[in-house]
Every structure is written in C-alpha cells, then in structure tokens.
Amino acid sequence: MIGSSQPLQEIKLSLQRFAASNCTVLISGETGTGKELAAEYVHRNSARRDRPFICINCAAIPDSLFENELFGHSRGAFTGADATCDGLLAAANGGTVFLDEIGDMSLTAQAKILHVLERKEVCRIGSTRATKLDLRFVAATNQDLEAMTAQGTFRKDLFFRLSVAQIHLPALRERKEDLPLLLKHYCQEFNPTPGLRSIEFSDECMRVLLKYDWPGNIRELKNLAESLCIAAIPSPIEPQHLPARFRAIAHELKSAAADPERESLISALSWSGGNKAAAARRLNCSRMTLYRKLSKHRLQSRALCETKISA
C-alpha cells in the first residue's frame, strides 16, 4: 500500500490492528481504491499469513452455481458429479476468505453465507454431514450496505456479522499527495527497460495529473502508467503525451495562466474561501462587477478554490 499521506497511514494502522485479531472485517470504498489489496494486507499481517487467501467475486457467481462453487459436492450429487469435490471455502481452511463485492450477492446467497459465518461449517451438495472449518472472513463493497439494509436488499443480520471491524478507503482524489509516489512505483513496475531508461514527468504534466479527479482511482492511474510505459514515450512525459481527458485539463490550465483577470479572480476567491463579498472587497470592485467577471470567465467560486489548491 503505497503513499505517505495521513489518510493512508491511518488506514495502515487500522488494518494492522484488525490483522492482530481474528475478527471479520468490512472494507468499503469506490471501485479501484484497492480493497483487495487491503484485504491481502490484513491476511499477510495476521497469524494466518502462511495459510490460503481465497478471493471470491460475489458478483461473478450466479445463484445456480453458488453452493457448488463455495461448498463443493459429493459424488453422485447430480448428473456429472463423478467424484467428491471440495468448494472454495474448504480450500481456504485455516486461512482467509475475501468476499469481494458482497453487496452484489443475492438474498438467497446472503442467507447461505450467513450460516457459514455463524456456524463455521459447510455441507457439500448431496451430503448430510457438515464439515467444521477454521476461516477468517474479510468482505468488501463499493455500495452503501446500511442503505441497502434499509431498502431490504441486504440482510441486516449479515451486515452486523460482517461489520465487526469497518474501514473505508478514500478515493485517490482525497489523497492526491500520494499520486507522485504511486506514479513512480507503477512506472518502475511497467518500465520495459528499467536499467536503461527512467520514466519522469515534467512539472506541467504533474500539475495536470494532480488537477484530474481520477474517477477510476488507483486502478485508472495504474492503467495510465502501463500505457505510457508500453508506448515508450521519451522522458520527461509532457501533457501532449497523455490521453485526451488530460490534455483538456492542460488547455484549461494554460488558458488560466494566460489571462491575468481570471488569475486575479481565482486568487481572490481562493483567499476568501469562496466568499464573494470578501473577494469583491479584495479586488476593490462591487459585487455586481464580480458577478459579471465570473460569468465572463465561466467560473464558480467553489471551482476556483479547488483549481487554486490543486494547481
């Protein structure tokens, strides 16, 4: 887990505390924030580190296959069951089971996984004998499970079982100070000629990357780093080497820098925290004049503050 920002350091400390116990952990966060990596972090720092870590994508297993995939089956349980087969839960015995995207699990499947959490045992399809298992569960979701329980789409009893320890992973836009370290790490990972060529970013390019909101979070950043490395772009990488969504930001930044009036508006509203009256006094103009200038430059006070801070 790469980064030196305060949010990430707090997350690492929490994950270390969770790892030291045997409690169930619920990890929430947007897509691409590294929920599986956090789950692996808990497993690697726990007493189960030498036992299996089994990842189960709850969104990818249909109800018709759920029991067979997780619980396994006995010989003769159904047509084609020529031999007894253990499921994923038995394969994880002694280790950690990671239930990824558990918010996408059907109510029927939720009931079955709740039974395993409560009894710590599974029964193969076609068998009447339950097998005790030693399992630790970590679950992850990009959905609001509390809201889903209120809507009746997620079981309350399962939510309480899963959320003994909870942690939320911040989006990349909420910890942009980690972005340079993340870029350096992934560029080193994907560099096709690490001993011959280093991959650097110009200051202008880094300003563009810091201004971007990264809706795909760390996964999007990782994919960008890989594409830039594959393209073998000469270092340092400039804004024109980036995809179109980044080049549009570079154009905005250049336009802002080239317009002194726009820059003065940004500075005043950033200084005032978005207070238009205070910004107008700082610019020695009326509020109506300030509004006309804001309209002329198609700016809003909140956007101005964010632009100034990001730049």
CB 129 within 8 A of CB 33: no
What whole-number distance in Å separates Cα of residue 185 and Cα of residue 285? 48
pLDDT, block means (10 residues), the chain with 311 residues: 90 95 95 96 96 94 87 74 82 96 94 92 83 95 96 96 95 93 93 82 92 95 94 87 92 75 81 85 90 81 45 40
Architecture of domain 173-255 in this structure: Orthogonal Bundle (1.10)
What pLDDT score does 94 carry?
96
CB atoms near residue 259 (< 10 Å)? 13
Backbone φ and ψ of 194, nearest 5°:
-60, -30
What pLDDT score does 306 carry?
46
- Classify residue 184 by burial, with Cβ atoms within 10 Å: 0-12, 13-18, 19+: middle
Backbone φ and ψ of 158, nearest 5°:
-70, -40
Backbone φ and ψ of 288, nearest 5°:
-65, -40
The DSSP code for 297 is: T
Long-range contacts of residues 186-190, Cβ cutoff 8 Å, at least 24 apart: 186/221, 186/222, 186/225, 186/226, 187/225, 187/228, 187/229, 189/225, 190/225, 190/226, 190/229, 190/230
The DSSP code for 246 is: H
- Domain assignments of the chain as residue spans, ordered by start: 6-170, 173-255, 259-310
What pLDDT score does 211 carry?
92
CB atoms near residue 245 (< 10 Å)? 10
Specify whether domain 6-170 bears CATH 3.40.50.300. Answer: yes
What pLDDT score does 262 carry?
78
Q: What is the 3-state secondary structure (H, E, C) of 72-107?
A: EECCCCCCCCCCCEECHHHHCCCCEEEEECHHHCCH
What pLDDT score does 49 carry?
96
What pLDDT score does 307 carry?
44
What pLDDT score does 162 carry?
95
